[in-house]
Homo-oligomer: A and B are copies of this chain.
Amino acid sequence: MEQIYKGKTKDVYRDTNGEIVLFFKDDMTGKDGVFDPGENQVGLTVEGSGLAGLKMTTYFFELLNKLEVPTHFISSDFDKNEMRVREVTTFGDGLEVICRYVATGSYYKRYGKYIEDGTKLDTPIVEFTLKDDERQDPVASKETLVALDLLNEEDYNTIAALTVRISDVVKEKLADKGLELYDIKLEFGRDKETNDILLIDEISGGNMRVFKEDENIHPLDIGNYLL
């Protein structure tokens, strides 16, 4: 297999048959050894975290496929920490979309003048961010994403609607186990063959903030409740 991308928490390969293979590493985003889904760098390495992420991602992607939400998922191999996926093109160098149910993290940092950390939002707030380490993944509006030629208005609306739909599924599954989803980060791409917009990357503890009452659940522990 040929390596085509080296990511922070995953490496990407193209198999000899053309399929794309994601290898889930044991690296997590964070700072100084402390996990933080809002961080842009690898902050710690935890044995087994790659497999935990793959298992949760597989659980959610299989569920979403059943619900006919379009994802890039084909199959997983837990023995190899690998997930096979459809090949996609990204929007520019990648678009991450955050769905917020509770104001915290970077949202609180920006708007702390008017909102307390941990405030429940009446309706989920969707924010599109550009993958750009150098500029700390800036938030971008629909008008800006169109101006930057990354997508058109219809694409934006499709992705925003998919984001709420998918996040609501995750939120509900967590709620069934007594957990509360504060926010979640999703990634989208375009199917290289069909041009459809697909959910890509992963849905794992590393992409979300989850609480049980007032206790922040460690990303690697979420799976223990869920799976």
Q: Point out residues on A near B: beta carbons under 8 Å.
A: 92-93, 103, 109-115, 121-123, 125-127, 130, 132, 134-135, 138-141, 143-144, 147-150
Asked whether A121 and B147 contact (CB < 8 A) given A113-B93, A114-B130, the answer is yes
When all copies of this chain in the complex are counted, the total is: 2
A112–B147 Cα distance when bound, in Å, is: 12
Chain B positions within 8 Å of A113 at CB level: 92-93, 130, 132, 134-135
Q: Are A148 and B114 in contact (CB under 8 A)?
A: yes
Closest to A143 in B: B125
The 8 Å CB contact of A111, one of B103, B112, B125, B144, is: B144
Q: Are A143 and B130 in contact (CB under 8 A)?
A: no
Shortest Cβ-Cβ A-B pairs, 5 listed? A114-B148, A110-B138, A113-B132, A125-B143, A121-B147
Are A111's CB and B126's CB within 8 A?
no
Q: Are A144 and B125 in contact (CB under 8 A)?
A: yes
Among the listed B110, B132, B141, which residue makes an inter-chain contact with A127, where contact means beta carbons less than 8 Å apart? Answer: B141
Point out the residues of chain B lying under 8 angstroms from A109, CB to CB.
Answer: 135
- Closest Cβ of chain B to A130, distance in Å, is 7
Would you give the shortest CB distance from A189 to chain B, in whole angstroms?
17
| A143 adjacent to B114 (CB under 8 Å) | no
